[in-house]
Amino acid sequence: MTTDPITRAVACNLCTGCGACAGAFPDVIRMVDDPVNGRRPVVAASADGCKAAAAAASLCAGAAVDYTVLPRKDAIDATWGPVLATWIGHAGDDEIRHRGSSGGAVTALALYALQSGLAGGVAHVRAREDDPRLNAAVISRTRADLLRGAGSRYAQASAAEALGAIAVEAAPVVFIGKPCDVASVVKAGVADRLAVTIAVFCAGAPNLVATDRLLTRLGVPEGAALTDLRYRGDGWPGLMQASYLAGGTSHTTPGLSYAEGWGNILQSERRWRCRICTDHTGAFADISVGDPWHTPPKGAGEAGQSLIIARSEAGRRLIEAAMAAGALVATPTTRDVIARAQPNLLASQGAVFGRRLVMRAMGLAVPQERGLALFPLWWRLPVRQRVQSLAGTAKRILRARLWRPVVVKP
Ligand SMILES: Cc1cc2nc3c(=O)[nH]c(=O)nc-3n(C[C@H](O)[C@H](O)[C@H](O)COP(=O)(O)OP(=O)(O)OC[C@H]3O[C@@H](n4cnc5c(N)ncnc54)[C@H](O)[C@@H]3O)c2cc1C
Ligand code: SF4
Ligand code: SF4
């Protein structure tokens, strides 16, 4: 097996696909959309490639994370990362609220940061225009561009690939990404280029195979030119829906419910790395945002609500300033709300200790992580789930032959 640490992270299933290594060294590391393995980096087979990969290893949160650097004061912080304060709310702008994944809080906060002069741009992902199955990391500077990125993309995407662009921006930017994207950007040591970081909660990113399966289920004919693919938004939680050109006319498919699209099609294709993820809510971000599932919507198109967490004083200041300006409408709630809203993420996190135990026993590499007490979370699971985390992992390793090095196919 290769000794370059980035290719090794990919080969050993430690890579999350954040894109930070390629963003920092775009000349010799590029992200490739592998339909099965996800969007993953490929390092040039040259001395420069090896040198860049060695340097990029220090910002790779897929391979190593140090939670001890986080200020944590109680059991809630120990489980979820720093939780200074929590709110339930939504964008003050009705269009942003409607287009957003939950309540449009992420887009509203980013737009307020732009308009108030706190940031000169917003680094985030949005669907590629030439192929909406895929996503690109971009820097948005207007409300219209931000809105084009609103709504979760349950697909492979590498938000931290914007790292190179962030480093040369004239003014600090807002960075939006999944928890693993934020963790790598924070490790990259570009704090003076970041106005604030915002993480979306994340149960795992499905691959391109899952996206194609969704398109088939939506009824997009093979060979049709896809013009739009939406996973969330246009109400809470919104419908999954695609538009395409066929026979010279534009068509839009009927919508598929979030429960069916995520539950029956997408989630089974999450990569193994996501199943051993220890940060589903963005512990390293200034602000994290997810769905308040404990007060679920009654229909697909209900006006949305977001669960908003301030994790740092900078995050709290932005949230409170956005509320004072009417950009965000939110009500404070108690800090224990995350466990109530996200029992699935708590269970996923709990299973990680058991899964990694079996991986180690079977000789597989696991991420190097300091400062997380995974055993108590596992021990608190019902016995059946504990056993499942062990037996299910052994079965999965054998069935998927997870000991075989992942080789990325462009
Ligand atoms: C793969 C995935 C899994 C998720 N799982 C959960 C979950 O288990 N529980 C939960 O509560 N919430 C989950 N979310 C988050 C949730 O769907 C909403 O994104 C969140 O509530 C924010 O909503 P909003 O309306 O405030 O955001 P919006 O205003 O709609 O803004 C969303 C922002 O997220 C960015 N974004 C969208 N997709 C991606 C992506 N794939 N990678 C990086 N950035 C992206 C967009 O660029 C946009 O800026 C998940 C999101 C994703 C992408
Ligand atoms: S920096 Fe990100 S994309 Fe690169 S190897 Fe690490 S996890 Fe993968
Ligand atoms: S589950 Fe974790 S590793 Fe997977 S995409 Fe989400 S934040 Fe990244």
Using CA atoms, how far residue 359 sits from 203, 265, 395, in Å, is 20, 26, 11
The predicted pLDDT at position 68 comes to 97
Judgement on whether residues 304 and 393 belong to the same structural domain of the protein:
no
Judgement on whether residues 200 and 277 belong to the same structural domain of the protein:
yes
The predicted pLDDT at position 233 comes to 81
Judgement on whether residues 326 and 353 belong to the same structural domain of the protein:
no
User: Range of 121's domain?
Assistant: 81-206+268-341
Rounded to two decimals, the pTM is 0.98
Stretches in the chain below the pLDDT threshold 50: none
Judgement on whether residues 347 and 201 belong to the same structural domain of the protein:
no
Cβ–Cβ < 8 Å for 138, 316: no
Position 87: which residue type?
W
Listed in sequence order, the DSSP H helices in 188-235 are 208-218
Show the tokens assigned to 253.
């498919």
Measure the N-to-C terminal CA separation of the chain; round to a whole number of Å.
19
Cβ–Cβ < 8 Å for 201, 342: yes
Would you give the DSSP letter of residue 115? Answer: H
The predicted pLDDT at position 247 comes to 87
Which atom of ligand 1 approaches the CA of 159 most closely?
A: 43
The predicted pLDDT at position 64 comes to 98
The predicted pLDDT at position 2 comes to 55
Judgement on whether residues 97 and 160 belong to the same structural domain of the protein:
yes
Ligand 2 pocket at CB < 6 A: 6, 9, 15-21, 41, 60, 62-63, 184
Nearest by Cα to 24 from 59, 69, 68:
59
Which atom of ligand 3 approaches the CA of 62 most closely?
A: 3
The predicted pLDDT at position 298 comes to 85
- In the chain, the number of structural domains is 2
CATH of residue 100's domain is: 3.40.640
Judgement on whether residues 288 and 381 belong to the same structural domain of the protein:
no
Using CA atoms, how far residue 394 sits from 144, 346, 347, 349, in Å, is 48, 21, 18, 18
Nearest by Cα to 87 from 289, 315, 293, 309:
309
Q: Do the domain assignments include residue 318?
A: yes
Judgement on whether residues 191 and 165 belong to the same structural domain of the protein:
yes
Q: Do the domain assignments include residue 337?
A: yes
The predicted pLDDT at position 72 comes to 96
248/224 Cα distance (integer angstroms)? 10
